[in-house]
Amino acid sequence: MYPPRLLEHFRHPRHVGELGPPAVTVQVSNPACGDLLRLSALLEDGVLRQVRYQVRGCTASIAAGSALAEWLTGRTLAEAAALDASTIDAALGGLPPASRHAAALCVEAVRALAAAL
């Protein structure tokens, strides 16, 4: 049902946790399914130097959070702002249609983070 890359991120998530100040932390949720994503990032010289995430949700949302944090690390704020759901979908090897909400949650979190930074 899930592609191997998605399962790899689920079984071995990267960048899990939360960063303390001066990092910025945002939280977004999907009221339809109840998934919750907290995203923390430390911006230095216009670059996201450290990124951490925490997810309460389904397999796809946990894997998407991992792929998101991995993808964001080392990117500029402008690059992060260009993120769309297809980037997360591709990073996970293709989300099943019923799990595409996980990529949308990631995009929402990045928008919230950009607004907070």
- When the pLDDT of each residue in the chain is averaged and rounded to a whole number, the result is 96
Domain layout of the chain by residue ranges:
4-116
**Mean per-residue pLDDT, 75-87:** 96
Is the CB of residue 63 less than 8 Å from the CB of residue 96?
Answer: no
Domain 4-116: which CATH number of 3.30.70.890, 3.90.1010.10, 3.30.530.20, 3.40.50.20: 3.90.1010.10
Express each pLDDT in 20-54 by its tens digit: 999 999 999 998 889 999 999 999 999 999 999 99
Q: Among 51, 42, 70, 53, which residue's Cα sits nearest to residue 105?
A: 53
**Mean per-residue pLDDT, 67-80:** 97
